[in-house]
């Protein structure tokens, strides 16, 4: 599986998010892990895909991540909240969660 396929996201088809969020479904796939936990850069790339889709912009200029616990493989949900959006830049937060 290519990296592009492994980091792909789709508009949320699970439970609808609160009105101020956009929800995306993703799958954390096996093979992009270290001792059973997904590589942090791989997880961040998946979240960046959701941010890019929600904001309608090709790539983030800067991104910061806080990992609260290891991420295993399987289905995941990414909720994106737009904080501020201008002509050239946008700011958003995203949260990836599993079960």
Predicted local confidence at residue 14, as pLDDT: 66
Nearest-angstrom CA–CA distance, 40 and 54: 21
Residue 85's pLDDT band (boundaries 50, 70, 90)?
Answer: confident
What does the H/E/C string look like for 1-36? Answer: CCHHHHCCEEECCCCCCCCCCEEEEEEECCCCEECC
Chain segment 15-69, per-residue pLDDT in tens? 666 677 899 999 999 988 888 899 999 999 999 999 999 988 888 889 999 999 9
Predicted local confidence at residue 1, as pLDDT: 84
- Closest alpha carbon to 23 in 77, 63, 98: 77
Is the pLDDT at 98 greater than 80, yes or no?
Answer: yes
| Among the ranges given (58-62, 70-74, 92-96), the one the predictor scored with the smallest mean pLDDT | 58-62
Is the pLDDT at 12 greater than 80, yes or no?
Answer: no
Nearest-angstrom CA–CA distance, 39 and 83: 27
> Helix (H, G, I), strand (E, B), or coil: what is residue 73?
coil
Residue of 86 and 24 predicted with greater confidence: 24
> Helix (H, G, I), strand (E, B), or coil: what is residue 53?
helix
């Amino acid at each position: 599986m290519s990296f592009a396929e492994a980091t792909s996201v789709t508009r949320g088809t699970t439970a609808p998010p609160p009105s101020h969020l956009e929800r995306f479904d993703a799958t954390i796939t096996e093979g992009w892990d270290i001792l059973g936990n997904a590589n942090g850069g791989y997880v961040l790339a998946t979240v960046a895909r959701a941010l890019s889709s929600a904001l309608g912009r090709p790539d983030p200029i800067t991104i910061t991540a806080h990992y609260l616990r290891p991420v295993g493989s399987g289905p995941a949900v990414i909720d994106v909240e737009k904080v501020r959006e201008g002509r050239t830049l946008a700011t958003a937060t995203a949260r990836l969660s599993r079960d």
